[in-house]
Amino acid sequence: MVVLHPLSDFIDCDAISDSSCSYWYEGRCLESGLRLKLPRTSMSEAIAYRLMQELANNDCYSHEGKMYGILLVELPNGEQRILKAFSGLLNGCSVVEGWVPPIPGRDEVAFEEARTLAQLDAIKQELLTLKQLTERQQYETLLNEFEQQLQAMSDRHRYCKHQRQEKRQQICKTLSPEALTIALEQLDEESRQQGIERRQLKLQQNARLQPLQQLIAAADARISELKQQRKALSRQLQAQMQASYSLTNFSGRSQSLQELMPEGSPTGTGDCCAPKLLHYAATHNLKPLAMAEFWWGTSSANQDKIQGEFYGACIERCQPLMGFLLSGLRPNPPTPLPHFVPLRERREGGEVTLPIIYEDEWLIAVNKPAGLLSVPGRYRDRQDSVLSRFAHLLPDGMSLASVHRLDQETSGILLLARDRQTHRQLSQQFQQRQVHKVYEAILSGVVTVEQGVIDLPLWGNPENRPYQKVDWQHGKPSLTHFQVMAREEDYTRLEFTPLTGRTHQLRVHAADVRGLGIAILGDRLYGCDAVTSRLHLHARELHFEHPQLNETIHLHVKTPF
């Protein structure tokens, strides 16, 4: 089966001169501890775009959405070739001519997998049937009818009772004792008959509904039983596949998924493009040069993928394997900028413009004051910012780029990169949630709980920027941990640890009633009316992996309020 493809099948090599990197596949070697990297370059992207054209011209590739990938490799004789792979199955097949085969292990459990998948499908169909029982609708319809009859009867009985009470008061004044006794007995009998009428309706209701209730209860018990069976079958198959899948790295070492991820892995781990490509290269003495993965085909709501977009290693399945898969490759040496002069030595008017808390050849970290933009705005009156001040101070300032941003009203640690490669590597860490951020805030009210997690999706209306709101339909997942530090009269000092980085995430999670329900002090945009000089939100700590020094950087600044 032909798997290695010549470059000429995909690109005109002379037309691609730019080898800039837009993304790094990376992981820490389990043995040496070094951070190993494989780039996604402009050349690998050009190859991937050519593969997209091939997919677009063949209808069989658009029926199911999935990840595709290419790996540019070098043969022992120095020639370059291309490998291509798809995630999972392609039109129900794991082995397709021209594509990298699956990692060894799938064949060993192929029969068991097919049998289990058939069982899971049968369970799925039975669950659908049980959930759509006609008796469920019959029960709801009858229950609603009886409830309406009971309500009408109760209203009528209540009116009759009121009439009997009035009649008793009247006859007590007008009738003789003998006639009064007879009349009162008649009224009591009427009350007893209405009680009998109510009990008969309830008995009739029970007689009609009880058989349906029993059927529904039996169906629900069966549903619970089937769900347990489904969970057990899925776990059993996953354990078998983890034990049988064997990955090999460039050191020649092989390990099973079970050994690499002893705490368990999501379904489909090992079937993604990147592990397939790297395993094949490692087992065929091919040196990887660059890789690119993209989505093609339709996307379901929970996948949220865009056809033709490039994506990095998925956090749940691929990223945990990268350190092992890349082991044996030579680590990329750091590339320092020439003629580095510390910013602290470059003064204007005898003073550094902004407080710098860390700097080297690749990075600058500044303690941004509240009220200053992180980067210049669109209009002329919003050009003053951290980035523009440094660009003014440094001859190489135009190469500076902000890795992330803080709101204008928020103070604290802001990270700047001094070259494109460092910027991409740090941006990747932020995107993959590998950066630990801690904020400190004062809320304009008393938070009664000590700690917790706020999980509210956020969405910003393009016509009402920068305001954000909770939106369960359109919002992006947003997760925040919080811990109360102190309570001071009518205020609460909190520590926020955001696990995602949405616009105004902490401000909305604090103010929204489904979060803490108390706005940050000074946050007029989200409902704080207190008179104060600033927004009491401060980016206090930042922990990240230095992309060139391969060490963890811990930054911390004092909270100014």
Catalytic positions, please?
Answer: 407
CA–CA separation, 265 and 242 (whole Å)? 8
Q: Of 405, 372, 387, which is closest to residue 501 (Cα–Cα)?
A: 405
CA–CA separation, 356 and 370 (whole Å)? 15
Locate 223 and state its tokens.
């549903």
- Residue 417 φ then ψ, to 5°: -105, 145
Residue 2 gets which letter from DSSP? -
CA–CA separation, 361 and 338 (whole Å)? 8
Q: Which residue has the tokens 């997942």?
A: 477
CA–CA separation, 302 and 65 (whole Å)? 12
- Residue 201 φ then ψ, to 5°: -65, -40
One-letter amino acid identity for 458?
A: L
3-state SS, residue 328? coil
Q: Of 510, 509, 503, 90, which is closest to residue 297 (Cα–Cα)?
A: 90
CA–CA separation, 272 and 266 (whole Å)? 12
3-state SS, residue 377? coil
Cβ neighbours of 551 (radius 10 Å) = 9
101 preceded by a cis bond (ω within 30 of 0): no
Q: Of 437, 420, 435, 419, which is closest to residue 360 (Cα–Cα)?
A: 419
Contact of 376 with 387, CB cutoff 8 Å: yes
Q: Of 322, 515, 541, which is closest to residue 413 (Cα–Cα)?
A: 541
CA–CA separation, 71 and 554 (whole Å)? 35
What burial class does residue 509 get, using C-beta atoms within 10 Å of its C-beta: 0-12 exposed, 13-18 middle, 19+ buried? buried
CA distances from 111 to 33, 37, 92, 118, 173 (A): 39, 37, 14, 11, 92
How would DSSP label each residue in 220-289? Answer: HHHHHHHHHHHHHHHHHHHHHHHHH-EEE-TTS-EEEHHHH-TT---TTTT-SHHHHHHHHHHHTT-EEE
- Residue 115 φ then ψ, to 5°: -65, -45
148-161 b/e (C-beta count within 10 Å ≥ 16 → b): eeeeeeeeeeeeee
- Residue 437 φ then ψ, to 5°: -120, 140
- Residue 114 φ then ψ, to 5°: -60, -40
3-state SS, residue 297? coil
